[in-house]
Amino acid sequence: MKERIYTIPVTDAFREDCECPLCLLEEKLESDALEYTLGPSMMESDSRIETNRKGFCSRHFTKLYNMQKNRLPLGLIIDTHLVEQIGIIREMTEKSLPMIKKEAAATAMERIAGSLKKDRNETVQFINAMIEKLSNLEKTCTICEKIDWNMEKFTDVILYLFFKEPDFKELFMAKKGFCLPHLKRLLEGSLKYLNNRNRSEFIIALMSMQLTHMDRIREEVYWFTQKFDYKNKDAPWGNSQDALPRSIRKIAGPADLVR
């Protein structure tokens, strides 16, 4: 039996009526991770080492700030993150500065010679190294990585239960498909966790369900647009009243949409 701490939330999420049970799992992981970041994680030196090094993506900085609480922990996390990042950026800059100054003071002849061998130009090398450093920092997020690690476990458990628990398979097949990012995750998971025979069986089930429900949601959006035609003014909304937020989530995954 796969780890129960992952099985229970998976089964609970698949029992909910929703456009994507994996979105429910991810949203829960995200809110737990946000709470944890401003709470217990503050006291753990390993967590602080991680947030100093990786920081957060823009989405998660925004969410941490918008929680409007625990301002002191957030301030402390940002303070030590900045100390570490400024240290790295300053060290890289100071190491290259003497050569960059030399290139700034180069004579016209030296510059012409230098432009012929751009890859050996210290200023260009410094710029590329700094771009790489900043790109890496932009890509890392303590919260995204935590969510991703757990979502991987959930994916493994879903694929396991699909073949081991007939009740779960039935639950799975009664869903309305998945959002596209989580469809992708299940496809990736099937490459990783299933043998050839099971993979083919799973893909047939998954894709037929997915397409049925993509057609369904497209029709709901279409009817939403048709309701703006005065001819349809008095026609019933059906399921289309909230078709926009549901279709956006179907396409893009978890999204904070203002109601």
Residues 47-86 that bind Zn ion (CB under 5 A): 57, 60
Site pattern 90..129 for Zn ion (x: CB under 5 A): ----------------------------------------
In the complex, minimum distance from the CB of residue 238 to Zn ion, in angstroms, rounded to a whole number: 23
Stretch that binds Zn ion, among 22-30, 100-108, 209-217, 240-248 (CB under 5 A): 22-30
Residues 197-236 that bind Zn ion (CB under 5 A): none
- Rule CB under 5 A: choose which of 22, 64, 206, 243 binds Zn ion: 22
In the complex, minimum distance from the CB of residue 153 to Zn ion, in angstroms, rounded to a whole number: 16
CB 33, CB 41: distance < 8 Å: no
In the complex, minimum distance from the CB of residue 60 to Zn ion, in angstroms, rounded to a whole number: 4
- Rule CB under 5 A: choose which of 33, 34, 143, 157 binds Zn ion: 143
d(CA 247, CA 78): 36
Residues 173-192 that bind Zn ion (CB under 5 A): 179, 182
Stretch that binds Zn ion, among 83-91, 142-150, 218-226, 230-238 (CB under 5 A): 142-150
- Rule CB under 5 A: choose which of 18, 67, 76, 144 binds Zn ion: 144
Stretch that binds Zn ion, among 17-25, 47-55, 84-92, 238-246 (CB under 5 A): 17-25
Closest CA to 178 of 241, 245, 248, 253: 253
13 near Zn ion, rule: CB under 5 A:
no
In the complex, minimum distance from the CB of residue 178 to Zn ion, in angstroms, rounded to a whole number: 5
Concatenated DSSP letters of the chain: ---HHHHHHHHHHHHS-SS-HHHHHHHHHHHHHHHHHHTGGGG-HHHHHHHHHH---HHHHHHHHHT---HHHHHHHHHHHHHHHHHHHHHHHHHHHHHHHHHHT--HHHHHHHHHTGGG-HHHHHHHHHHHHHHHHHH--HHHHHHHHHHHHHHHHHHHHHHH-HHHHHHHHTS----HHHHHHHHHHHHHH--HHHHHHHHHHHHHHHHHHHHHHHHHHHHHHHTTSGGGTTS--TT-TTHHHHHHHHHHSS-----
In the complex, minimum distance from the CB of residue 49 to Zn ion, in angstroms, rounded to a whole number: 18
Chain positions contacting Zn ion, by CB under 5 A: 20, 22-23, 57, 60, 141, 143-144, 179, 182, 253
